[in-house]
Amino acid sequence: MNITKENIDALNAVVTVNIEKEDYNDKVDKILEDYKKTANIPGFRKGHVPMGLVKKQYGKAVLVDEVNKILQENLNKYLVEEKLDILGNPLPRMQEEFDWDAETFSFEFELGLAPTFEVNLKKNEITQYTIVADDKMIDGQVENIRKQYGKLISQDEVTAESEVTGIFTNEEKEIENNVTFGLDKIKGKANLGKFVGAKVGDTITLKTKGLFNDDHDLMNFLKVAHDDVHDLDIEVSFKINEANTRELAELNQELFDKLFGEGNVSTLEEVKAKIKEDAERQFVQQSDQRLLNDVTEELIENTEFDLPANFLKKWIQSAGEQELTVEQAEEEYTKSEKGLRYQLIQDRLIKENEVQVQFEDLKEFAKQMIKVQMAQFGQMNPSDQELEDIAARILGNEEEVRRLTDQLLSQKLLELFKEKANLKKKEVTYENFVKEVYGDSH
């Protein structure tokens, strides 16, 4: 057995595995001996079949099988021992005149090698947002709470303050959707004028273009696909089935107790402080996700290295259940290149910064997630034993372990970015965060 490697360039190599007769002969002979004892061949008693006949019938198949086993085992061992950082799997080179009747066999494999590169987290400045709940937002939340817990008063005629329930229809686009919304969502005096003064039971005709303050409301109210809403310009009918106005709930202790538990809050100022605290806790998740996305994009764009592209396209061609055409493999490579680049960058960051996900970390992470989920269903104080039992069930599922590991790894990388990346901190309201990050049309 002899294995050698020839480097074609920095990203491509060929490994040659030479297998001699002494590497496989004893194993092949032993298997054929076993076959001889058990073979059922007409004209011969069991165990008395001549070895020549056994070899003729089974020899080639046993030889091929054993040589392939030796080949795979030793190739894998070689890659591990040589610490070769490869992409994809070794690709066997086809040999047109391969002779299984020879005693010595030579196999060649193409390798795609991972590139060497440096990751610089300090290269460019990245904005780290701190999102704050401003007075406008908090007052809006107080107003929403008062509406939510207020009384619904039925009306015969629609007013500017009404909340209407009815059915949007358009035969051509197959729209028929029952909705409820406040008229504060309607854009422009002309559209509002069609509603105000209308009676319950009336049907009004509206143009979808510029109907709502936010075009995305069309998705929910008409059940139209996201890609269609911005250019949607059709006529729809709206039959008014109900009109209601809301008498706002009083800001009193009864309402405070409903919202935050008995005796926990007793003034409007405390309510606003609680709303601010809850909102900003949720905003942290959004700003963290944005930071993770921005650092990821920055690293992909500005960490330069080449990939063994031709090798990877050939590997993609043959890696799936069905072989792809050259064009399909090219398309798949183009789609996956960015993800592969980030995977290599992430692996380098993990290695250089010794980022690890230990089982105890994973269990603790799972327990914290379970606590949050249970709290959403009103179970505020689960026992340690309950959390342990549920975590054990979750961690017994391989797919869940993989999913949680990915989430925890992202969290650890986020902590690394906060510590080591070149960050510029910026405090913004949620409204300005959405405008700045997603644009006005979000």
- CB neighbourhood size of 263 (10 A): 9
Q: Do residue 13 and residue 102 come from a single domain?
A: yes
Q: Which of 247, 270, 304 is the last residue of a domain?
A: 247
Position 132 in a domain: no
Q: Do residue 364 and residue 427 come from a single domain?
A: yes
The per-residue pLDDT for range 231-264, each reduced to its tens digit, is: 788 999 999 999 999 899 999 999 999 988 888 8
Cα–Cα distance measured from residue 348 to residue 115, given in angstroms and rounded to the nearest whole number: 11
What per-residue confidence (pLDDT) applies to 234? 92
Q: Do residue 61 and residue 161 come from a single domain?
A: no
Query: What DSSP element (H or E) covers 227?
Result: helix 226-229
Q: Do residue 157 and residue 23 come from a single domain?
A: no
- Whether pLDDT at 442 is above 70: no
What per-residue confidence (pLDDT) applies to 441? 47
Cross-strand partners of 157: 199
- Whether pLDDT at 134 is above 70: yes
Position 400 in a domain: yes
Q: Do residue 242 and residue 175 come from a single domain?
A: yes
Q: Do residue 222 and residue 315 come from a single domain?
A: no
Cα–Cα distance measured from residue 286 to residue 403, given in angstroms and rounded to the nearest whole number: 20
- pLDDT higher at 3 or 172: 3
Q: Do residue 283 and residue 409 come from a single domain?
A: yes
Q: Do residue 315 and residue 395 come from a single domain?
A: yes
- Whether pLDDT at 226 is above 80: no
- CA dist list (Å): 196 to 153, 184, 357: 17, 12, 60
Q: Do residue 414 and residue 288 come from a single domain?
A: yes
- Whether pLDDT at 432 is above 90: yes
Q: Do residue 284 and residue 211 come from a single domain?
A: no
Whose tokens are 């538990």? That residue is: 261
Position 72 in a domain: yes
Cross-strand partners of 372: none
Q: Do residue 310 and residue 424 come from a single domain?
A: yes
Domain of 310: which CATH number?
1.10.3120
Once rounded to an integer, what is the mean pLDDT over residues 302-315? 95
Position 254 in a domain: no
Phi and psi of 72, rounded to 5°?
-65, -45
Q: Which of 247, 268, 290 is the last residue of a domain?
A: 247
Once rounded to an integer, what is the mean pLDDT over residues 5-33? 94
Which residues neighbour 123 within 8 Å (Cβ) at sequence distance 6 or greater?
A: 298, 302, 422
Q: Is-contact 170 134, C-beta < 8 A?
A: no
What six digits make up the tokens of 107?
């196999």
Of 35-49, 129-143, 267-281, 404-418, the range with the lowest mean pLDDT is 35-49
- Whether pLDDT at 54 is above 60: yes
Of the chain, the end-to-end C-alpha distance in Å amounts to: 63
SS3 assignment, position 201: coil
Position 94 in a domain: yes
Q: Is-contact 416 355, C-beta < 8 A?
A: yes
The fraction of the chain above a pLDDT of 70, given in percent, is 99
Position 344 in a domain: yes
Domain of 200: which CATH number?
3.10.50
Domain of 102: which CATH number?
3.30.70.1050
Buried b (16+ CB within 10 A) or exposed e, 226-252: eeebeebeeebbbebebbbbbeebeee
Q: Into how many domains does the chain fold?
A: 3
Q: Which domain holds residue 234?
A: 151-247
Position 343 in a domain: yes
What per-residue confidence (pLDDT) applies to 39? 78
Q: Do residue 319 and residue 371 come from a single domain?
A: yes
Once rounded to an integer, what is the mean pLDDT over residues 138-148? 93
Position 353 in a domain: yes
